[in-house]
Structure 1
Amino acid sequence: MRQIFYSNRQFLMGLMCKACLWIVLLGTLGCSDFVEVDPPKNTLVSQTVFDDPSTVESALANLYFSLREDGMVSGNSGFTTLLGIYADELDYYAFNGDIVQLYRHTVTPQNAVLLGWWTQGYQVIYAANDIITGLEASEGLSTMEVERYKGQALFVRAYVHSLLVGVFGDVPYITTTDYVVNTNVSRLESNRVYEAIVADLEQAVALMDGADILVGDRVVPDADVARALLARMALYTQQWELAAATAGEVIAAFPLEPDLDQVFLKESGETVWQFRPGNDLRNTQEANQLVIQFIPGQRFALTPSLLEAFEEGDDRLESWTDELSDTDGTLTLSYAHKYKALFNETASLEHSIVFRSAEQYLIRAEARAQLGNLEGARQDLNAVRNRAGLGDVNLVMQSELLEAIYRERRVELFAEQGLRWMDLKRSGRAAEMLSPLKANWEDTHVLLPIPESELEINPNLLPQNPGY
């Protein structure tokens, strides 16, 4: 029997660790090293953990560990693959029943993948709120330290809510660790969820701006990471001026990596935020899921419609995709090859990228086009195209330019964090693009169902999304 958020086990952990859920006894471990340790096994119960920067950093590191290992962001059930098959980026060849539902658009409210996304998402949000509460009561940290750490926790809270609202629509926006409040929470309309996300991100930027908190391979979020998400959220909510201005700040700090073959290496200059692989894997979950090593034996392959979307002469087709045939040459499949290094194949070459500046160029291009700044939009679009070996577009009609930007997003950002699905959903083109490809498509599939077990525990989450 589950509790919001959302299990008895999580509730008991909340009672045990009310001062700070998920704060880990990691010795002298700092945020730079969190990804190299095993999953946390111990917790601190005392408020005194918020009087020591190392223990607060360990608590935050635990949030990033959870995002990397479970749920919507990375790991085996992340948006990259599962929203890729829900949309039109990837075909699925394996036999997991819950994943087959996503691929075939036969999803039910009992789907275990969706329950995992929901529970893990709110588990991380609960932990972020617990950190915020502890920091606000801290007596041992400097004001600068409190602001820096609080900014990171606010970013995590906003980021996870942005993923939840993207697939479920109306969802609760949780800002407390009060069990009574949380077990009776209702869903907010999605526009109000986005308002809350933007407010958290603006506060996070203000708190972290100018703080020197980055460690190593851009694995710890800072003000620019919060700006990257803020620009994305502003685009999704049609706040064009905010989207253009905020993306511009990120672009100024992270110019495009000129070499396509360097974009997804851990040292890439355009990476805004990434996860370092853990548990001695050395390289990314994404490569191990997407790179086809044997046929049969593959799980995912690129769809013909995605391959057809690349223009002739687009260097990304060669650099970021590859193909493999079966032993008798009767079947050839293409796969995403942005990440090339497999688990334990070599030393650590690649980290899982969550935000990179190419997306910000395309965010600003779209926002500028919507604002009537067509020249600025063309400049941003052409910067991405030129890097891929393509010539400039010289379109003068706003509608044509916006369509070109949508096409560019498809081929630049494929197999990255479910961005293609979010684009289809927000632009109202999901039915147009997917109904010819998905035999079971229904217009209500722009939202996934709220997990049935959560509705049973908390009727305030009703009604269920339409169509389920």
Structure 2
Amino acid sequence: MRFKYRDTALYQCFFILTFRRCNLLYLTILIGCLTACTDFVEIDLPKNQLSGESIFEDALETESAIHGVYYQMRTSGLVSGDDLNVAMGVYTDELDFYKLDQGEALENYQNHTVESNDLIVTNLWNSAYTQIYTVNAIIAGVESSTGLTTEDKGKFTGEALFVRSYLHLLLVELFGDIPYITGIDYVDNKDVTRMPRALVYNYIIADLNLAVDLLSDEDMSGERVRPYAAVAEAVLARAYLYTQQWGLAEAMAGRVITKFGALEPDLNKVFLKEASGTIWQFKPNADGKNTNEGTRFIFTTGSPFDIAMSSLLFDAFEPGDLRQSSWLKNVSNTANTQTWYHAFKYKEHSNTDSSVEYSVQLRLAEQYLIRAESRAHLGNTSGAQADINAVRNRAGLNNTTAITLNELLDAILQERRVELFTEQGHRWFDLKRMGKAAEVLGPIKPNWKDTHILLPIPDTELTLNPNLLPQNDGY
């Protein structure tokens, strides 16, 4: 029987774990291998699975499994600081791609010629579902464990549920109707069908609410690198916003804001590892390393290696907006005849004596803007203005003049644009959900089509599982 690489890798891991007790390093390496193989191989379906093995009788080894998931999330796929941030930045009006004559994959995002065999699309889908399969195995193993304490079971399950829901949220926004995978049985998973977006969000919200109940209110890691209750609440606020449940979105964002308080006042400290407004971040795998984002975005001499900030984004900042000077940096050619800009939220693009920046996944400013948008829809004009102003005033700008609903929504979209650029695809998700994608991108993307509102399902997935048909419109 022939299996797709992600299933093959996962079940090879299950098979090995059935016959040997893994130490911490060994398990981490195994989980790291889940996305390493890109070929089809032939194996027999294993008789046993990870969920029933001794690995989950020990809290330290279970914790190693969780760490392995974060390692994969940090290094590849949807939340790694590369494909989603860069590809969707080029897809929108945030980034420009400068190697159009070299056949780079990003050219298709610049030109809006993405096809269903696109390598980035395939990686986004495969890496996410590999990570989802892994946390599902952890959930199953923890549930059946007789060696873990009730407290440990709750903590590990809460973390895994959070990861599962967060990855599905990103997938459904990119691809539309998708399968929501909750199990590890190959027979079931190989024939899954796509669920309507509304049903996917029902599962996302249910998992997040359960994660909130299971996770500790305290950041046990001390560096906000492991999910705790506020992390799940922050994503829950986003899920409510995306599903237009304004009252719930306002309440949940408000809960997070109450826990954290005011925004980090110094823009140059927002992306330092100890920044007060950081809700959740990824720690580098070695002290002295910094972020993938810094390495990817920063260039120091000559023309851009491949990407630079779009002039449209640079020009979008109001006069006096400190984010333009703090979070963008200019680089000129040798003759000083041409200037480009790169994202400079992260200031380090190489190793330092000790790590100074972690990769920020969730931060407080988004919660203020979620609450502002929810309040605007609920008719709470003064409340919406107050939240917008919290973000604007931190950037050195005067209070908003927006009053009507449409004015407030335009003001919020503007603040999200200049506050959250090159972070987790926010610009694309915002244009799409607020019905602005065609209006903004149509004039600047010659190949724009309204069907580009979704990415295609990878061809390889449709071949392996025809139940995922039909393909998204336009591909």
Residue 66 in structure 1 maps to residue 72 in structure 2: yes
**Against the structure 1 CA distance between its residues 214 and 231, is the aligned structure 2 distance closer, same or farther, given a 3 Å change threshold?**
same
What does residue range 108-187 of structure 1 map to in structure 2 within 5 Å? 108-187=115-194
The secondary structure found in structure 1 opposite 2:391 is helix
Rounded to whole Å, the distance in 2 between the matches of 1:17 and 1:115 is 28
2:41 alignment counterpart: none
Rounded to whole Å, the distance in 1 between the matches of 2:203 and 2:4 is 20
**Against the structure 1 CA distance between its residues 5 and 134, is the aligned structure 2 distance closer, same or farther, given a 3 Å change threshold?**
farther
**Against the structure 1 CA distance between its residues 75 and 384, is the aligned structure 2 distance closer, same or farther, given a 3 Å change threshold?**
closer
Percentage identity across paired residues of the two chains: 47
Which segment drifts farther, 283-292 or 38-47? 38-47
Whether the 8 Å CA contact 1:98–1:111 is kept in 2: the answer is: yes
Residue 236 in structure 1 maps to residue 242 in structure 2: yes
Residue 217 in structure 1 maps to residue 215 in structure 2: no
List gaps (5 residues or longer) in structure 1: none
**Against the structure 1 CA distance between its residues 260 and 19, is the aligned structure 2 distance closer, same or farther, given a 3 Å change threshold?**
farther
Higher relative contact order structure (alpha carbons within 8 Å, sequence separation ≥ 6): 1
The secondary structure found in structure 2 opposite 1:448 is coil
- 1:272 offset after TM fit, Å? 0.3
Rounded to whole Å, the distance in 2 between the matches of 1:72 and 1:431 is 24
- 1:164 offset after TM fit, Å? 0.9
Q: Deviations over 1:142-191 (max 9, x none)?
A: 21211111000000000111111111111100000011110000001111
Whether the 8 Å CA contact 2:128–2:167 is kept in 1: the answer is: yes
1:363 alignment counterpart: 370
Rounded to whole Å, the distance in 1 between the matches of 2:126 and 2:64 is 22
Whether the 8 Å CA contact 2:270–2:277 is kept in 1: the answer is: yes
Rounded to whole Å, the distance in 2 between the matches of 1:158 and 1:44 is 21
Q: Which runs of 4+ in 1 moved over 6 A?
A: 41-46
- 1:423 offset after TM fit, Å? 0.1
- 1:293 offset after TM fit, Å? 1.6
- 1:391 offset after TM fit, Å? 0.8
Whether the 8 Å CA contact 1:4–1:182 is kept in 2: the answer is: no
Q: Deviations over 1:292-338 (max 9, x none)?
A: 22223522111111111111111111111110111112221011100
AA of the residue aligned to 1:230? L
Rounded to whole Å, the distance in 1 between the matches of 2:108 and 2:319 is 34
**Against the structure 1 CA distance between its residues 93 and 18, is the aligned structure 2 distance closer, same or farther, given a 3 Å change threshold?**
farther
1:53 alignment counterpart: 59
1:377 alignment counterpart: 384
Residue 26 in structure 1 maps to residue 13 in structure 2: no
- 1:209 offset after TM fit, Å? 4.3
Residue 86 in structure 1 maps to residue 91 in structure 2: yes
The secondary structure found in structure 2 opposite 1:329 is coil
**Against the structure 1 CA distance between its residues 416 and 2, is the aligned structure 2 distance closer, same or farther, given a 3 Å change threshold?**
farther
Whether the 8 Å CA contact 1:147–1:207 is kept in 2: the answer is: yes
What does residue range 328-347 of structure 1 map to in structure 2 within 5 Å? 328-347=335-354
The secondary structure found in structure 2 opposite 1:354 is strand
Whether the 8 Å CA contact 1:219–1:276 is kept in 2: the answer is: yes
Rounded to whole Å, the distance in 2 between the matches of 1:177 and 1:46 is 12
**Against the structure 1 CA distance between its residues 67 and 266, is the aligned structure 2 distance closer, same or farther, given a 3 Å change threshold?**
same
**Against the structure 1 CA distance between its residues 299 and 41, is the aligned structure 2 distance closer, same or farther, given a 3 Å change threshold?**
closer
Rounded to whole Å, the distance in 2 between the matches of 1:45 and 1:373 is 48
- 1:393 offset after TM fit, Å? 1.5
Rounded to whole Å, the distance in 2 between the matches of 1:4 and 1:177 is 15
Which segment drifts farther, 180-189 or 51-60? 51-60
1:456 alignment counterpart: 463
- Of the candidates 429, 435, 440, which is equivalent to residue 433 of structure 1? 440
**Against the structure 1 CA distance between its residues 151 and 93, is the aligned structure 2 distance closer, same or farther, given a 3 Å change threshold?**
same
Residue 275 in structure 1 maps to residue 297 in structure 2: no
AA of the residue aligned to 1:92? F
- 1:358 offset after TM fit, Å? 0.3
Rounded to whole Å, the distance in 1 between the matches of 2:78 and 2:19 is 26
Rounded to whole Å, the distance in 2 between the matches of 1:153 and 1:124 is 10
Q: Deviations over 1:166-224 (max 9, x none)?
A: 111111000000111100000011111111111100110011143x4521321101111
Which segment drifts farther, 186-195 or 3-12? 3-12
Total equivalences in the alignment? 458
AA of the residue aligned to 1:58? S
**Against the structure 1 CA distance between its residues 420 and 195, is the aligned structure 2 distance closer, same or farther, given a 3 Å change threshold?**
same
- 1:68 offset after TM fit, Å? 0.2
**Against the structure 1 CA distance between its residues 83 and 132, is the aligned structure 2 distance closer, same or farther, given a 3 Å change threshold?**
same
Rounded to whole Å, the distance in 1 between the matches of 2:159 and 2:181 is 16
- 1:443 offset after TM fit, Å? 0.5
AA of the residue aligned to 2:85? T
Whether the 8 Å CA contact 2:51–2:138 is kept in 1: the answer is: no
The secondary structure found in structure 1 opposite 2:210 is helix
The secondary structure found in structure 1 opposite 2:281 is strand
- Of the candidates 322, 326, 344, which is equivalent to residue 315 of structure 1? 322
